[in-house]
Amino acid sequence: MDLEEKKAWLAFSVFQGIGPVRFKLLLDYFGSAKRAFVAPEKSLREIGLGEKLVGNFLSFRQSFDGNSYFLRLEQKGIKVTFAEEENYPKLLKEIADSPPVLYVKSRQRELGFLSKKAVAVVGTRKVTAYGRQVTEIITEGLAGAGLMIVSGLARGVDRIAHETALLNGSLTIAVLGCGLDLIYPPEHKDLAERIVAAGGAIISEFPLGMQAVPGNFPARNRIISGLSLGVVVTEAAEDSGSLITASCAAEQGREVFAVPGPITSPLSAGTAELIKKGAKLVNGVEDILEELNMEVSKVSKVSKVSKVSKVSKEELAGDELKIVEILENENQHIDEIARKLKIESGRLGSILSILELRGIIKNFGEGMYGIK
């Protein structure tokens, strides 16, 4: 693809109103993006773009400066890959509405790693202690099996998945619902930088300056699933956006996995519904890897929470040991721990703080504690 053709592809990615399906129609009709971009007004009307859209496009192409846009991308360290190029992600190329242009920010010079075997881990933004725990265990197991982790850089499960991947030395890809110059949510800018620094990538089909408007996220979700062999939903309410990602995966012929949760939690309703509709129920990382025909011998089950080492247990006595034994099988609220031990809340708080400082237990917030 020559430079002028690339400029034309970029121009269509910047122009709002011609998405992947229409762009492919233009390519088929005119034979190239260059010819489509300079096509006579009459031809554009004849192929059925519509009066208003044609008018908007004619105005846009008068003002778009391909050279200037290329320079802005270079200054921001953003690479571009096109659907007809070899380094475009192979799995993503297979979906019906694959984005013609992908903007990529990564420290890797070549973008072939985008075709590495990957699994998406997604879920609720309002994650519970249980959701955090299973997301960490699932992601750690997938990373240990050599898989790249894909998610959406959102609050909650997405953030936990990216961070766990980084902690376990796995490449991770964050797919944004905005331009790469506008990280959303803004408090995840540091996480995005760490993903890039570790050799992963932040990617988007949206051009520079595109804000994170609600309508962008369903489109973003099809890319998350499109890059992946399968999608794992670890925790989700009935209206969670992660269910859209799962739906995209099913439509694309990718595997859909869901982790069951407490029936009393509204944040487990979404995963329960996915399982009812045929998603693979996940009791452990091996359930995912077996479905993907991958090695499962060295991974741990979701149902097995991290245990305190024998050495640590030998150092505990009295109420400290009792607290650890209570928390070993499941996370507990401080009120429930106090009820089981029949211990005064002030003393319990002090013991919990000491155990947390020693790195034995973890405060998950909202009064929930569990084994670290």
- pTM for the model stands at 0.82
What's the pLDDT score for residue 301? Answer: 47
What's the pLDDT score for residue 325? Answer: 83
Q: What value does the mean pLDDT take over residues 96-116?
A: 96
Q: Are both 162 and 254 inside the same structural domain?
A: yes
Calpha distance 53→64 (Å, rounded): 16
* CATH number of the domain within which 359 lies: 1.10.10.10
Q: DSSP state, 308?
A: P
Q: Are both 228 and 123 inside the same structural domain?
A: yes
Q: What value does the mean pLDDT take over residues 174-199?
A: 96
Calpha distance 100→25 (Å, rounded): 12
What's the pLDDT score for residue 296? Answer: 62
What's the pLDDT score for residue 312? Answer: 55
High-pLDDT (> 70) share of the chain, %: 95
Q: Are both 245 and 149 inside the same structural domain?
A: yes
Residue 78: closest CA among 70, 86, 88, 89: 70
Q: Are both 222 and 329 inside the same structural domain?
A: no
What's the pLDDT score for residue 253? Answer: 96
Please indicate, yes or no, if residue 264 is contained in any of the structural domains.
yes
Sign of torsion, CA 149 150 153 154? negative
What's the pLDDT score for residue 212? Answer: 93
Q: Are both 134 and 185 inside the same structural domain?
A: yes
Distance of CA 335 to the CA centre of its chain: 34
Please indicate, yes or no, if residue 169 is contained in any of the structural domains.
yes
Calpha distance 18→100 (Å, rounded): 11
High-pLDDT (> 90) share of the chain, %: 72
With contact defined as beta carbons under 8 Å apart, do 319 and 175 qualify?
A: no
Q: What value does the mean pLDDT take over residues 242-261?
A: 96
What DSSP letter does each residue of 356-368 carry, written as one string?
HHTTSEEEEETTE
306: pLDDT strictly greater than 60: no
Calpha distance 128→118 (Å, rounded): 25
- Range(s) of the domain holding residue 319: 310-371
Q: Which residues of 260-274 are buried (b: 16+ CB within 10 A; e: fewer)?
A: bbeeeeebbbbbbbb
What's the pLDDT score for residue 307? Answer: 46
Please indicate, yes or no, if residue 349 is contained in any of the structural domains.
yes
Beta strands in 77-233 (DSSP E): 79-82, 101-105, 118-122, 148-151, 172-175, 201-204, 230-233
| Segment 12-47, tens digit of pLDDT | 999 998 999 999 999 999 999 999 999 999 999 988
Q: Are both 196 and 118 inside the same structural domain?
A: yes
What's the pLDDT score for residue 327? Answer: 84
Please indicate, yes or no, if residue 303 is contained in any of the structural domains.
no
What's the pLDDT score for residue 313? Answer: 56
Calpha distance 267→242 (Å, rounded): 12
Please indicate, yes or no, if residue 95 is contained in any of the structural domains.
no
Picking from 17-21, 186-190, 358-362, which range would have the lowest pLDDT averaged per residue?
358-362
Q: Are both 177 and 273 inside the same structural domain?
A: yes
Q: Are both 213 and 321 inside the same structural domain?
A: no
| Segment 45-90, tens digit of pLDDT | 988 888 999 999 999 999 999 999 999 999 999 999 999 999 999 9
What's the pLDDT score for residue 345? Answer: 81
- Peptide bond between residue 100 and the one before it cis (omega within 30 degrees of 0): no
- Looking at the DSSP assignment, which residues form a beta bridge with residue 101? 82
Q: Are both 270 and 348 inside the same structural domain?
A: no
| Segment 256-302, tens digit of pLDDT | 999 998 888 899 999 999 999 999 999 999 999 999 998 765 544 44
Query: Could you say which of 244, 260, 291 is where a domain stops?
Result: 291
What's the pLDDT score for residue 314? Answer: 60
With contact defined as beta carbons under 8 Å apart, do 275 and 300 qualify?
A: no
Q: How many helices (H) and strands (E) does the chain have?
A: 18, 12
Q: Are both 196 and 248 inside the same structural domain?
A: yes
Calpha distance 181→179 (Å, rounded): 5
Calpha distance 358→145 (Å, rounded): 30
Calpha distance 142→137 (Å, rounded): 9
| Segment 204-220, tens digit of pLDDT | 999 999 999 999 999 99
309: pLDDT strictly greater than 60: no
* CATH number of the domain within which 169 lies: 3.40.50.450
What's the pLDDT score for residue 297? Answer: 54
Q: Are both 271 and 337 inside the same structural domain?
A: no
What's the pLDDT score for residue 305? Answer: 39
| Segment 314-353, tens digit of pLDDT | 677 788 888 888 887 677 889 888 988 888 888 898 899 8
Query: Could you say which of 38, 67, 96 is where a domain stops?
Result: 67
Q: How many domains does the chain have?
A: 3
Calpha distance 69→129 (Å, rounded): 44
Q: Are both 282 and 337 inside the same structural domain?
A: no
